[in-house]
Structure 1
């Protein structure tokens, strides 16, 4: 029996919205996965039924992001936060330096973890402006003999996003947790890309790592087995039991992205959604003010303030009453934030933009 379920306007920063089609398919297959008589969560990760799910997810990601043949795709656990430690543990020796470009809270956390293993330094920082912009490429200062250069491609808390990635002669590492699959990316610029799944790729619990094979070969050897990238690359991410249901969901999200036209169509939709909200901000005559500078604005996280503290509280309260979920800004910044990841429909953004206009009309 098909039931009409009321769906929230989900602007949560993560875990975030998933495509309704994917949720419905998972619901249909939940008890009996493709004739096995078991849920996908009950399948052995060594079985051919699960192996097909696992490998299809890898193939779909490779297709959508045009990942070259000399890269490994890994499905790990521990979130992007574990990668903050795992990367320097593998690639930063005690006597080496690594450049970190600081553009927000998550890059700061990655930088902090790297200090435990080697000599990281600030290759650039926009902290003096409360992370309202991405550094210009000519602001980057790094050394030719660095172990690597690290950046965070999208900053969920501050609402900024890299529009162009640097071309550098040292290994480039990117935390793309909050904008992976949102637009085309030249993977070949990076030695390693990592991303928690819970923004654009699927549910929380899976971390995707895309890493060049020859970069893995340069990794430190004397570290715990489970923290070596080579362990997972050599075993198709099946050295131990992976988060099988999360990988299944990730694969279905990738299938959804392919079904709507692939990465080009996804990017087009994201630009259209973001424009709806930024246009309201820009045309509000100061009633709404965006946190990010215009050339650094994120298409994933729209951050803004409402004129006056009491009015902002009223805005958030009324937004909640109208069914807009997750629009309160991060506690470290305040204000408002609409996270409009891939699976957030245009209609939700349109409804929120109309709410913003009406709120200004009544309270402006």
Structure 2
């Protein structure tokens, strides 16, 4: 993915490259996500007669052709004029799921109109009435789950953006999914008083599956199950919130043990190759989410670039499964990771 990242960097305004590539603080957690995957090695099984592989999985009633989703990332139109709609078209062609950011630069209705399977990412909002409006809009557009980001009671300190003075979108761009009932664009609110009661209120307002994104501690994973959450994403926001937070693949095994199979556990952060996906699956993840490589593909090649990224991950994962002795993602086991 290094060559693709360099192509994207060449195509992007340097300020926008820093926005997409950067993390919080000294970017220790940003680096740690990739380093944690690089430390791990696969222990293959042999003579398993795997034959044809089946990469498909199912999440909340949606069949995915592979255990790879597109993570919520903001401002796709800064990467390419096709924006989130272009990304969604590639996702539809690859038969997987796109998690649309609340900070998307195109309306959720236009994104779901591509035919892609879409989940909607929600920052819990201090204004309950406005939050209900956003959720109902996502439901009406056909989103199939809510991904609730819980690691952002305040906004992360992103030094590259502070240095570049990047604190707002350029003229002609806006967060289209932050429009209220009168069409006015609201700012995304962050709420340091956020607690489990907010999850209860959200549950009362929607029948969609609720997936919490940003869980790193096993005690929180157990609480999530107790509070009726439908799924978890082990995430540190791509290293963009708390610098110094644990790498996601390091946190994954304890979360999987805490959940004990009661709800699906997904993971994002630092996935750059098919072997990384295999490691995450072996450690108990149901699927992974890909963030920055999708933006790199979009910036470097538009929607077809996104499709190329997704298909590269598919091809690499299929190859790794074969060499590791697994016909299906669920065949991988924790003793195959060293």
Which TM-score band applies after superposition, normalised by the shorter structure? 0.3 to 0.5
Q: What is the TM-score of this pair, normalised by structure 2?
A: 0.33
Q: Bigger relative contact order, structure 1 or 2, given CA contacts below 8 A and separation 6+?
A: 2
Pair member with larger Rg: 1
Higher-strand-fraction structure: 1
Higher-helix-fraction structure: 2
Q: What is the TM-score of this pair, normalised by structure 1?
A: 0.31
